[in-house]
Amino acid sequence: MQTKSTEDYLKIIYGLGEDRDTVTTSAIAEELRISSPSVSDMIKKLYESQYISYTPYYGVRLTKKGERIALKIIRRHRLLEVFLMKFLNFPWELVHDEAERLEHVISDEFEDRLDALLGWPQYDPHGDPIPTKDGLVEKLEVLRLSDLEVGDRVSITKVTDSRPLLEFIKRMGLGLNHTLAIKTKESFDGSMVIRAGRKDHFVSREVSQNIYVRKVN
C-alpha cells in the first residue's frame, strides 16, 4: 500500500507523460507545488520501489507497475467526480478538490460498489474517460478550441480540470456538450470571439487551449 504522496506523484507523472515522453523534475515540482529538491528526493524513492524508470538530470517515466497505480487513482478520482455531481449535486468547480482527497482513502470494495451505483459510467463530468478496472483508458483524440478557425462549429468534449478555468467557463454559461461557433480569431495572440447560445464571449489563447472539442456539422 502506497502513501497519498506516492499516489500524487504517480498520478501527476502520468498526466504530464501524456504529451511529453519523459517528465522532468521541475515539471513535477511545479505541478505539485513542491520544491525541486523534494521532488528529486522522492524520485529516488519511487525509482527504488520500481514505480518509475529514471536517468539523473534527464527525466522520468512510469513503469508498468507505476502506471497501474496511476490509472487506479485516476479511475477513483473520476468515479468520485461523477458521484459528487450526480448524487450530491456538487457545483462543477468544487468537484475536483473533493475527489482529490477522497481518491486516496476509498477501498476497492467502495470503488466497485460506487461504480455499480453510478451505472458503470465511461466518462467523468469533464468529459474525461474513466479507466477500467484493469487499467485501460480510451485515448481521446485531442482537438483544442485553439486549433480551430473562424466559422467552425464545435461541441465541448472535455475541459482541463482546474478550478479557476471551470469557474470562468461556468460564468460564460458554458459546459460539457455545449455547442459554440468561432466568430473571430486574432492571428497575433490567438484570442477568439465565440458565439454560444445568444451571447458572444471573448476567449484568450490560455483558455482556448484548455477547452477540448469535437467538430459538429
Partner DNA sequence: TTATTATTTTAGGTTAGTCTAAAATAATTA
Partner DNA sequence: TAATTATTTTAGACTAACCTAAAATAATAA
Considering only 18, 56, 142, 202, the residue that binds DNA (CB under 7 A) is 56
Shortest Cβ 102–DNA spacing (Å): 18
Distance CA 194, CA 105 (A): 41
Shortest Cβ 3–DNA spacing (Å): 3
- Quick one: CA dihedral 138, 141, 146, 149, positive or negative? negative
Do the beta carbons of residue 179 and residue 198 sit within 8 Å? no
Cell of 122: 465511461
- Applying CB under 7 A, the span of 26-34, 83-91, 110-118, 154-162 interacting with DNA comes to 26-34
Closest CA to 28 of 55, 61, 2: 61
6 lies in the site for DNA, by CB under 7 A: yes
Considering only 32, 34, 94, 196, the residue that binds its own copies (CB under 8 A) is 94
Chain positions 162 to 201 lying near its own copies, rule: CB under 8 A, are: none
Closest CA to 216 of 160, 145, 159, 166: 145
191 lies in the site for DNA, by CB under 7 A: no
Do the beta carbons of residue 185 and residue 113 sit within 8 Å? no
Q: State the binding partner of 197 from its own copies, DNA, none, CB within 5 to 8 A by kind.
A: none
Considering only 36, 37, 49, 117, the residue that binds its own copies (CB under 8 A) is 117
Do the beta carbons of residue 202 and residue 180 sit within 8 Å? no
Question: Which three-class secondary structure state does DSSP give residue 152?
Answer: coil
Question: Which three-class secondary structure state does DSSP give residue 103?
Answer: coil
Q: State the binding partner of 122 from its own copies, DNA, none, CB within 5 to 8 A by kind.
A: none
Nearer to DNA, 10 or 207 (CB): 10
Chain positions 52 to 91 lying near its own copies, rule: CB under 8 A, are: 84, 87-90
199 lies in the site for DNA, by CB under 7 A: no
State the DSSP string of 117-137.
Answer: HTT--SB-TTSPBPPPTTS--
Shortest Cβ 22–DNA spacing (Å): 10
- Residues found near DNA in the complex (CB under 7 A): 3-6, 24-26, 29, 33-45, 56-59
